[in-house]
């Protein structure tokens, strides 16, 4: 393992902040390209519910002033960047006076739990299956996983959610109750607390949403791993490992999986952002109050503050994941050294 170079670390951090800045600018510009603004959208919603809103123009004007939407764009931009630098993500315009932080703080743990558990399952199971699919001692019947995972990979996760809801919610019933709950992150009437019962309820409720993510992503990892394993099988050191008379399982994990997993780790870090975005529809399908549902409501309400805030959190998470994998790569691949970069 190579030792650490301060110069490399500094440059890598600079790239990190540059990425976040460019992305933050994009998320500032893009919502503003659409016609209308959050205040108009809110009034329109209120009109829908109440039929008529008194002094609508005055409300709009007052709120626009309150959120600074009348200022020139560049002023808004610098205010946004300044606030972001102070880690102040502002208010949610649609849920005023709730701050974006409050909303994200409520939603993030659920998504971390859901996506985290799903990631853990599909990454281990996917890579293990992929490795076994390429191994000569694996029984032939396991090969059915290849066309199966190819099919699953091409189905959108939300469609899988529907299928799972149908199978476990309606088709399979125990004492006329669904096998797995299809709504919410924990049982109705329970309050979030650190008890075993609550934790069990969370796992029970998270099963179907997690499964829909696992089923669609697992194939991608299995096929990728299988491809890497087949490449490794052709390496010269594999012939030597065979000639050395090493035990087959040892060769599998120390010579094959150990080398094949390296690109998979990078791919995982890069795909963290995509994963959370991919869970949006799944969360909505299962009325799961995580980041996905929050992003969705932000877009639906043209809630600039919320869109910027949630996107910003996602960007920082992805960039951070890539940064961490970059800095720790020498630990998993001895050929990579941070020295003198």
Among 10, 30, 142, 239, binds other proteins (CB under 8 A): 239
Among 11, 173, 254, 341, binds other proteins (CB under 8 A): 254
Among 240, 270, 300, 324, binds other proteins (CB under 8 A): 240
Show contacts with other proteins in window 302-341 (CB under 8 A).
Answer: 333-335
Among 7, 25, 47, 242, binds other proteins (CB under 8 A): 242
When asked if residue 66 is in the footprint of other proteins (CB under 8 A), the reply is no
**Choice between 70 and 339, CB closer to other proteins:** 339
Record the tokens describing residue 121, joined without a space: 């399952």
What is the rounded CA–CA span in Å between residue 51 and residue 45? 10
* Exposed/middle/buried for residue 145 (C-beta within 10 Å: 0-12, 13-18, 19+): buried
Output the DSSP codes for 213-264.
Answer: HHHHHHHHHHHHHHHHHHHHHTSHHHHHHHHTT--HHHIIIIIIIHHHHHHH
Candidate ranges 11-19, 31-39, 106-114, 255-263; the one touching other proteins (CB under 8 A): 255-263
* Shortest Å, Cβ 326 to other proteins: 18
Number of H helices, E strands in the chain: 13, 2
When asked if residue 250 is in the footprint of other proteins (CB under 8 A), the reply is yes
Candidate ranges 11-19, 257-265, 267-275, 297-305; the one touching other proteins (CB under 8 A): 257-265
When asked if residue 247 is in the footprint of other proteins (CB under 8 A), the reply is yes
**Choice between 44 and 325, CB closer to other proteins:** 325
What is the rounded CA–CA span in Å between residue 259 and residue 229? 8
Output the DSSP codes for 280-307.
Answer: HHHHHHTT--SHHHHHHHHHHTT-HHHH
Comparing CA positions, the residue from 92, 95, 106, 110 lying closest to residue 309 is 92
When asked if residue 245 is in the footprint of other proteins (CB under 8 A), the reply is yes
* Shortest Å, Cβ 333 to other proteins: 7
Handedness of CA 20, 25, 26, 32 (dihedral sign): positive
Candidate ranges 51-59, 61-69, 82-90, 253-261; the one touching other proteins (CB under 8 A): 253-261
Size of the site for other proteins (CB under 8 A): 22
DSSP state of 144: G
Binding site for other proteins (CB under 8 A): 235-237, 239-248, 250, 254-255, 258-259, 262, 333-335
């Amino acid at each position: 393992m190579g030792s650490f170079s301060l110069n490399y670390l500094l440059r890598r951090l600079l790239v990190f902040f540059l990425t976040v800045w460019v992305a933050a600018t994009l998320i500032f510009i893009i919502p503003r390209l659409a016609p209308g603004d959050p205040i108009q959208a809110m009034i329109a919603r209120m009109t829908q519910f109440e039929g008529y809103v008194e002094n609508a123009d005055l409300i709009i004007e007052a709120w626009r002033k309150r959120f600074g939407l009348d200022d020139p764009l560049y002023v808004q931009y610098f205010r946004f960047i300044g606030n972001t630098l102070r880690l102040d993500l502002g208010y949610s315009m649609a849920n005023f006076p709730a701050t974006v932080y409050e909303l994200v703080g409520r939603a993030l743990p659920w998504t971390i739990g859901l996506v985290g558990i799903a990631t853990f399952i599909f990454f281990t199971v996917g890579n293990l299956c992929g490795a076994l699919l390429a191994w000569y001692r694996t029984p032939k019947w396991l090969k059915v996983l290849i066309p199966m995972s190819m099919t699953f990979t091409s189905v959108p996760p939300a469609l899988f959610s529907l299928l799972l809801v149908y199978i476990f919610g309606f088709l399979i019933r125990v004492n006329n109750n669904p096998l797995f709950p299809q709504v919410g992150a924990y049982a109705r009437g329970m309050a979030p607390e650190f008890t075993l019962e609550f934790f069990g309820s969370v796992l029970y409720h998270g099963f179907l949403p997690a499964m829909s993510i696992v089923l669609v992503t697992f194939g991608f990892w299995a096929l990728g791993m299988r491809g890497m394993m087949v490449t490794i099988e052709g390496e010269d050191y594999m012939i030597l490992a065979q000639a050395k008379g090493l035990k087959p399982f040892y060769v599998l994990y120390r010579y094959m999986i150990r080398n094949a997993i390296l690109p998979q780790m990078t791919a995982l870090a890069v795909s963290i952002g995509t994963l959370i975005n991919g869970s949006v529809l799944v969360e909505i399908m299962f009325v799961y109050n995580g980041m996905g549902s929050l992003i969705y409501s932000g877009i639906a309400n043209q809630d600039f503050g919320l869109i910027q805030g949630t996107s910003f959190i996602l960007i920082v998470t992805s960039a951070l994941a890539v940064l961490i994998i970059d800095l720790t790569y020498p630990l998993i691949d001895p050929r990579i050294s941070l020295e003198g970069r």
